[in-house]
Amino acid sequence: MLVEKFLQITKAKERYYADSQTHRHKLRIVQALCVVIKLTGTKPYSLLDIVLYETNQPNINYLIELILADSTIDTLTIINSLKNDKVKVSGVQSVFVILWLRCCKTNYLDAEYINFLLPWTMAQNFSTRLYAQITISKLLEKFYEKPTKPDQCPFSNIFSAINSYLKQGNVEKNLEKCMKDFRFNSIFDYDNLLTLENVFHNIPKVSGMASEDVVGTKSLRECFETLRLSEVNLGDALKFDYLTSERKENLFLNQGFGGADHIQKKIVPLKCLEPTLELLTNLPEKLRLKKKGNVEGLIVVASLVNRAPNLGGLARSSEIFAVKQYIVNSLKDLENKEFQALSMTAEKWLNVAELKSFQIVDYLLEMKSKGYSVVGAEQTTGSRPIQQIEFPKRSILVLGHEKEGLPAHIISHLDIIAEIPQFGVVRSLNVHVTGAIFMWEYAKQHHVVDL
């Protein structure tokens, strides 16, 4: 299910920016997969396809590399997957990393792995060539005490040739950057790659994710105790501080990472609530009743608005700004697909009522007798800029028809007439936009934040 969701996101948006909602959504899915696969021992063939044929942000690939390196998928199967000419450049490099991690994990270097890597040292893509050469150099350095000695290393000539090439011209500059790639610097506990620290703390931190995406050690320990995992599953927080200042110069740590001071963050009002069946079933009605029972609050009358997208947009704004009641000409409008496309289910959380347009005047007179003030959004000879208006706590906002605005017989019953200052050529704003601005101004004055 998690993999299917990941693929659905890819299908909807194949290319995406670092720190975007798509990036963070995908990252959380892969983090969840790390835990599930570690606990179940599932062979993640689908993730092998993802790392080979998709282009994702580096930290997503890093986690998938750890999953595959830790999995029971045969190494030759992973190597042979590169025979497909549709494999992405990043996928080829990920296989090199997986090979390195596997060798470190087993503490064994099969000579066939070097033979596999050799053709890639002459690949057409520069970074692929460089990565293959570095992988060979790193492997020989790790598993042979003196890789330059023919009597101690059967690949001594290859090692010497590669290192000689890597010291030439611009290659040497890129080599210095590549050698700082944390995946080749023996900082992991190779016997235990998929630890909670690696998945939720170390990888997000080294890749420059926002602080809220880097889970602290204390929180991880609480989680690991709740799941009753063994101590080895927790792992250790690694020190990546030295990488922070070098990320901008590092060829492989500068592949679209974010790490900006400001990243997109959507507000999720219900995220702190436990999503029980009772909550999901009863909460919308409880919220509607609570709003309806409030003596004070803003009532929005949109009975003159007749286009479904505008009504849907107004419903969404009304819900966001905690409007007491949203009134439309017909409740059947709520079933319109164009309405629902804009409302984003806001009608489920709103107190929505029906009021025919010919009944507006009678309704306003009745509500005035109950202490409400009527505010109209219209441009008239006596209208005032909205920033100069003080909204009474008991206010009714009346919105006009998309084309004709508020008719004269309704304007005569308004207590306050406000307009939004404009500086362009077009004579007026869309009614949905106008309504949203008025709702925000009311909310700003009366701090209608909590329900």
What pLDDT score was predicted for residue 287?
58
- Residue 358's identity, in one-letter code, is F
8 Å CB contact between 148 and 138: no
Q: Where in the chain are the domains?
A: 1-227, 285-448
Q: What is the mean pLDDT of residues 408-432?
A: 94
Q: What is the pLDDT of residue 223?
A: 72
Cβ(199)–Cβ(227) under 8 Å? no
Token digits for 425?
Answer: 């050529």
Q: First-to-last CA distance in the chain?
A: 35
Going by pLDDT thresholds of 50, 70 and 90, the confidence category of residue 171 is low
- As a whole number, mean pLDDT of residues 18-47 equals 89
Give the confidence band of 286 by pLDDT, cuts at 50, 70, 90. low
**Nearest-angstrom CA–CA distance, 70 and 37:** 10
Which residues, in sequence order, are CB contacts of 51 under 8 Å at separation 6+?
61, 64, 65, 68, 90, 91, 94
Nearest C-alpha neighbor of 62 from the set 165, 209, 173: 209
> Quick one: pLDDT band at residue 219, thresholds 50, 70, 90?
confident
- State the pLDDT at residue 317: 96
Q: Which residue has the higher pLDDT, 152 or 303?
A: 303
CA angle 204, 206, 208 (to 5 degrees): 70
Which ranges constitute the DSSP H helices of 107-207?
Answer: 111-117, 126-143, 156-166, 169-178, 196-197, 203-206
Instruction: Give me the pLDDT at residue 248, please.
Output: 35
More confident residue, 219 or 260: 219
**Residue labelled with tokens 């090979």:** 99
- Give DSSP secondary structure letters for 351-367: -EEE--GGGHHHHHHHH
The predicted-structure confidence for 341-376, as pLDDT tens digits, reads as follows 999 999 988 999 999 999 999 999 999 999 999 999
Residue range 222-275, pLDDT digits in tens? 776 666 666 556 555 555 443 443 333 333 433 444 444 455 555 555 554 444
Average pLDDT (50-58) is: 91
Contacts of 1 (CB under 8 A, 6+ apart): none
Q: What percent of the chain shows pLDDT beyond 70?
A: 79
* pLDDT tens for each residue of 176-191: 666 566 677 656 778 8
SS (H, E, C) 380-429: CCCCEEHHHCCCCCEEEEECCECCCECCHHHHCCCCEEEECCCCCCCCCC
Q: How many CB atoms lie within 10 A of CB 304?
A: 20
The residue among 329, 309, 303, 334 whose CA lies nearest residue 430 is: 309
DSSP 191: T
Q: What is d(CA 394, CA 346) in angstroms, rounded to the nearest whole number? A: 22
Task: Indicate the range of 113-117, 263-267, 302-306 predicted with least confidence.
Answer: 263-267
Q: How confident is the model at residue 335 (pLDDT cuts 50, 70, 90)?
A: very high
Distance CA 143, CA 430 (A): 70
Percent of the chain topping pLDDT 90: 49
Task: Report the C-alpha gap between 398 and 364 in whole angstroms.
Answer: 9
Question: Confidence class of residue 379 from pLDDT cuts 50, 70 and 90?
Answer: very high
- Residue 35 pLDDT: 85
- Quote the CA–CA distance of 74 and 189 in Å, as a whole number: 21
Q: Report pLDDT for 99.
A: 94
- What is the overall mean pLDDT for the chain? 83
The whole-number pLDDT of residue 253 equals 37
Confidence of residue 400 (pLDDT cuts 50, 70, 90): very high
Candidate from 273-282, 304-313, 422-431 with smallest mean pLDDT: 273-282
**Average pLDDT of span 162-184:** 67
Query: Half-sphere exposure (CA, 13 Å, Cβ side) for 21?
Result: 8
CA distance 445 to 392: 9
Top CATH class, 285-448: alpha beta
pLDDT of 151 higher than 70:
yes
Spatial separation of the C-alpha atoms in residues 394 and 300, rounded to whole Å = 11
pLDDT for 162 beyond 90: no
Give the lowest-confidence range in 212-221, 415-424, 431-440: 212-221
Please say whether the beta carbons of 118 and 96 come within 8 A.
Answer: no
